Structure 1
């Protein structure tokens, strides 16, 4: 038995064109926000998927300990170390798999998994950090202070990793 096949022509085409931004390496499982056409990239892994051996998984050397700004139009990037921020914010924002959501100019990051020097162990962070994206982006590009554009609270309900955060 044969059945007739019908097809339709799509009213559009999709094509992907890669871009290359000099000096921008790979990153996995990060959070991001956007302001004025620029991307703010936070956290994640620089060494790809974590190894399957428990003693080597989530090695500190693979943590992204910088805030990255990317302009996909001008193909430029800027970065700033997390070290100018309070320790609890540094630790969370260098983690992997934070859940995040942007509302207007604020990016909200919760949880994430990584190494905490404070606890001297790996942990799932119990923090919610609010970030004023446009001011952080401008501060990184202009090499000015950004610490006042971050707020953080602690609650065990924020102790999550992976997934997706929705409003």
Structure 2
């Protein structure tokens, strides 16, 4: 409980600092209707909301522990290997995200985000099926259309678009 309270507080301070630094970003000549600081601000807000939720959960758990002291079991005595297992799971997700970033320029955003959705669902234990592939394809198309069409933010199409443009004598933008 104390670890969640401390972690939530530290993450809240980091989220606020991240928002302040995002707000201080100068406008870019490449800005469209959505400024370049919009996504970092959104991340900071999401981080702050999740931090407040973690703090609230820690305070709620502390209240329950005080109400029923016999039911409270310190986290250290629950399962010794469980905390390391959770860290290994987080490192696995970090590896998947790093592969996504590396694949982004090669295969393009729509394919890379679809593969990310599929990889995360498989990593979470969801079986590979026609439904999971359909969700990955739909998610890739949805996010690409959301950023490109709705928000007007350019997303890389990858090596395939350059090869197509070169094969047809088109200038690549």
The answer, yes or no, to whether TM exceeds 0.5 is: no
In the superposition, the TM-score normalised over structure 2's length comes to: 0.26
Structure number, greater radius of gyration? 2
| The structure with more helix, counted as a fraction of residues | 2
In terms of fraction of residues, the more strand-rich structure is: 1
